[in-house]
Every structure is written in structure tokens, then in C-alpha cells.
Amino acid sequence: MVNVLGPCRLPYELFENDKKINSGYLLSTRDLYSLEYIPSFIQAGVACLKIEGRMKSPEYVATVTSIYRKYIDLALSQKPYVVHKSDLKTLMQVFNRGMSSCGHLSENPNKNLIFKENPSNMGLLLGKVQNYNPNKGLITVKLKETIKIGDTISLEKEDGTYTISELMENGQNITETKIGQTVTIGRMKGNINCNNIIYKMSSKELSSLAKQSYQKENRKILLNCHITVIKNKPMSIHITPANSIPLYKDINLDYELNEFPVEAKNKPLDKQTIRQQISKTSSTPYQFKNIRITLDDNVFLPKLSILNELRRNALAQVEAYALSKCVRVLPENQSSTDTSYTIKDDVLADMRHYAKKEMSLNKIKPPKVCLLLNYLNNNFDYSNLRHDIDNIYVPLKYFTDKRYSNILDMLSKNFPTYIYMPTIIKGNYRNLFYANAETSVKKYDIRGFVVSNISNITLLNELFTDLDKYFKLVANYTFNVFNSHSVLALKELGISRFTLSPELDKNNIHSLCDYNYLQKEMIVYGRVPLINMNYCLLRRN
């Protein structure tokens, strides 16, 4: 389940021709259910799944990750891939907004994406209030789901939740139930009426299982160590791997602590005590599989915390070693269609060199101005535009409408004109583009395209031979470029310049501007869409 937050939590009113046609949480999407698609993800080369957990409980994260882990492992095995209904119900129980949908993973248009009635968790349908005794606070319900003492429920006209503390059948107290059973839930007070819908909001048993899963460490990285405690010499530890994990398989670490064991006057230090202290790694991702100890006879440590300090500092160096090895190395042998790349030190050095050279020579050129015309107006005289505008961007849709041909003709003759591609291109629009793009390029003097995603580039390459030879490609802000790796990837795709993301902070902007590998643009004025959706809010069905 992946949950979208932010604008979806706000209510909206939708108007068409100044008439309100809809209202509610119109940007509230149903939960994304993708278990059925995991084999397809793996076959397509997907290496990572992001599960949204913002504003969610640890129990939610534990439950969702464990179920998706289960089905990823199943998809990688040779066993039949079958999703059990019980696991789907568990996902629905831990968080559920409007049941679920497949988002845009299916080839068919999704007419069930939005759930405008509620932006938050609505639980599972438990049943309807058959009878309510307000004096005793008793409600009777025929169960569509099982419930137990400690579970929480809510009613459709109530904002909060109730924890079930009293559960009865035929006047007798019970602790658990079955589907189809008629029971009485006690101690219920509030705005409750017969036929009110009841939802099961949480399961105490499910929450307890999830909590148990993350309260203990399930996986440890195994290491070997050799502790040396010799009189009047610094204490030391030597660490080697006890695993085949690539990050650790070559580790050979020595660490000395500036603490000196002395002659024991009473009780000398023993190997069992050392082993107990060094083994206390529960707060780390590590565990010592083998502990070898070299110990002088009759030595003493002023305090056992010295052993703890030795362990902590040594494991901190182990972690630092592993982090230093976390460098992505991508293949250097690439086919002509492969967009992967390897950033070499000399390339980055070259980029920095040109940036510093330009700054040192103080050759700061005046900024160029690119104008995006989101809306064309036939009543406006575009010949009055300032002639110091360097580039004009016009949305693709206007090149398919004959009513704007005069405007486009004038603009393309007076300014370098680019076709501004949409963020989302549906099947019918794709066909429309194929039918009109070549004609538009021949009819008007088109210098290039502003592309909003990689699929735009694929579409253009299918249509035009030697695309980057005859046209310039500008990467829109929707590429969300935030580091030099992204910049070099865009260059490999044939991009000549890119638009800085409005989400970048000042430091990231400065960092990107240090590299003059591609030209950059920045949005300085205008309307930036809050959200792009492959869904029509005007759809009535």
C-alpha cells in the first residue's frame, strides 16, 4: 500500500463554466495495491520499491514491508505466484483509504483512482448498528469481520475511535468472535443511531505482531575479532569478516585504545568477562561470531567500561569503512541504446575546472530569457513581445489546432521556438502527436523540444532520425535534477540544457551551477503546477 499525502488531504470544489460540478477530497487517491505486479516489476528490471510511510505508525511500516518482502521472495523463487486474500486484508487493516486500486500500473484506464469521501484511514467495513441502547451504551452488530477485545472501531458520524473493552453474545462476555456472528459491543457513547456504518480501524493482534517484528534485531553482520590485553600495553582489537557481504569481505581493521592494563591486586581480569562485554552489540548492526582473546596473567582494568569503549570505537570504524565502500560503480561497456554511465574522476575534475576558470576570468554573461506561453490568445498581438527574448516555448497542443497557426508562424519567424511537451501523454494524444509533429516541424521553424520525461525523448526518437543533430532538447523541471549524476545522465540522453527544479534549496542550486557540463535554466516567474495527474477529474463515470 502506497499512500499519497499533501494536497490529497484537502477538500476541493470543482467548477466547469462557473458551475460547481463536484466537491470533496478530489485529489485523494485510493491506496496503491501492487502485489499482483511484483513478478512484472522484477521482469522489467525494477530493483527497488519505495513504500510511503510518512505520518504512519511503525506498525504500518513493519506490516507493509514484511508482506511485500514475502511476495518479492516468492516471485524470485520457483514456486507458483499466488497472493493470499488474508495478506490483502492485512494491508487493508493496517491502512485503508477507499479500499485500493492499481493506480496506473494496468494498461486499462483507471476510473477508480480517486476516493473523494475520505482522505484518511477508514478501516474495514465491520457492519451496521442493528440496535443501540444509549442508556447502557450497547450496540448490536452482525459482523463482517472478526473483532477482539483491544481492537478499535469507528462509526460513520463520529470523528474518533473506540477501543473495544466489552464484548458480549447473548448477555455473556466473550473475548473473540467469528464472521457472521451477532454480538454486542459495550461502553459506546456518542452520536450513534441504528443503521450507522461501523468500521474496524485496527487489530490489537496485528499491531502486537508488527511491534514484535521491529523491537528485536533480526539480521546481524557477522564479524571475527581478536582482543589483546597485555600488561602495560595499549588494549587493542583486530577485526576480520565472518561473512561474504561485499562491503565487509576485505575488512582487516586494527584499533588501539590508549588504556593500559595494570598488575592485579585482588581479582584479575578473566576471558569470560572480556567476552561478555565485547559481545554487547545489540544496538549495532554487528555481531561477533568468533572472539579470540590474548590475555596476560594477573592483569586488571580500573573499570569495565574501558572494554565497552574499545568495542564501540572499533565498530564505529567498521561502519565508517563500510560507508566508504558504498560507491556505485556502473558498467563502462555500454551499447548505443544504454543510457547508463560511469562518472570518472577526470570528468568531474574537468567540470570543476571550467567552472572555476569562468569565475576566475569573471566572464559572467548576461542571463538569457526563455518565455513559456502556457496560453495563447488570438486577440493578443504577439509581435509586441520584447525582441530580447531568447527562446519561446509553446505547448504541444497548440500545434495541433489550426486556429493558432498565424500566431505560431509569427512566433517561429521572430524567435527561436520550441515545442513544449506535456508531462503526461495518453494513447490518443500520442497518435495525434505522430500525425502533426512532422507537419509542424516542416511548417514552422522549430528549434527544439522541451521534454518533460524520458518517454518524451523515446517518442521523439521514434519519430525523428538523428534527433539531437537537428533539434535541441531541453529537460523540463519535472526531471527533478538534483546532482551531477543526473546532469551527466541527461547529457547521455542528448539533452542540451535543463531547468532547475523549484524544489531545490540554495545549496543544491549552487552545487549544480558549479558544473558547466550542460546549460541551466531557472524558473523566475510564472505558475508552476502543484500536481500532475493521469486522471480526469471531470470524468462522470
Instruction: Quote the pLDDT of residue 343.
Output: 38
Cα–Cα distance, 83 to 74 (Å, whole number): 10
The backbone torsions φ and ψ at residue 31, rounded to the nearest 5 degrees and listed phi first, read: -60, 140
- From first to last of the 541 residues of the chain, give the pLDDT tens digit: 333 344 567 888 888 888 888 888 888 888 888 899 999 999 988 888 888 767 788 888 899 999 999 999 999 998 999 999 999 999 889 887 877 778 878 877 777 788 887 778 888 999 999 999 998 889 999 999 999 999 999 998 887 889 999 999 998 999 889 999 999 999 888 888 999 999 999 999 999 988 888 877 667 899 999 999 999 899 999 999 998 888 898 999 999 999 899 888 888 999 999 999 999 998 889 999 999 999 999 999 888 899 999 999 999 999 999 988 876 554 444 343 333 333 344 444 554 454 455 445 545 567 788 999 988 998 888 988 877 889 999 998 898 888 999 999 999 999 999 999 988 877 666 777 777 777 888 889 899 999 998 888 988 988 888 888 889 999 999 998 888 888 888 988 999 999 998 888 888 888 888 777 788 998 888 878 777 776 666 654 4
Give the single-character DSSP code of 327: -
Consecutive H or E run containing 314: helix 305-324
Q: What is the pLDDT of residue 363?
A: 55
23-37 in b/e burial notation, b at 16+ Cβ within 10 A? ebbbbbbbbbbbbeb
What cell numbers appear for 410 in the block?
A: 509569427
pLDDT at position 356: 52
What is residue 395's predicted lDDT score, i.e. its pLDDT? 92
Report the alpha-carbon angle 393-398-402, nearest 5.
Answer: 140
CATH topology of domain 124-214: Elongation Factor Tu (Ef-tu); domain 3 (2.40.30)
| CB contact at 8 A, 117 and 99 | no
The pLDDT of residue 218 is 67
Same fold, 124-214 and 345-521: no
Distance CA 383, CA 253 (A): 72
**At 520, phi and psi to the nearest 5?**
-125, 150
* DSSP character string of 407-420: HHHHHHHHS-EEEE
The letter for the amino acid at 423 is T
The DSSP bridge partners found for residue 520 are 498
- Fold for the domain defined by 345-521: TIM Barrel (3.20.20)
* CA atoms lying within 13 Å on the CB side of residue 475: 27
CA 531 to chain CA mean position, Å: 16
Cell of 327: 560507491
Could you give the CA distance from residue 448 to residue 467 in angstroms, rounded to a whole number? 9
Please state the domain extents for the chain: 7-101, 124-214, 221-324, 345-521
**pLDDT at 409 (0 to 100):** 93
Is the Cβ–Cβ distance between 239 and 223 less than 8 Å? yes
| Beta-carbon count within 10 A of 62 CB | 20
> What distance in Å separates the CA atoms of residue 245 and residue 325, rounded to the nearest whole number?
12
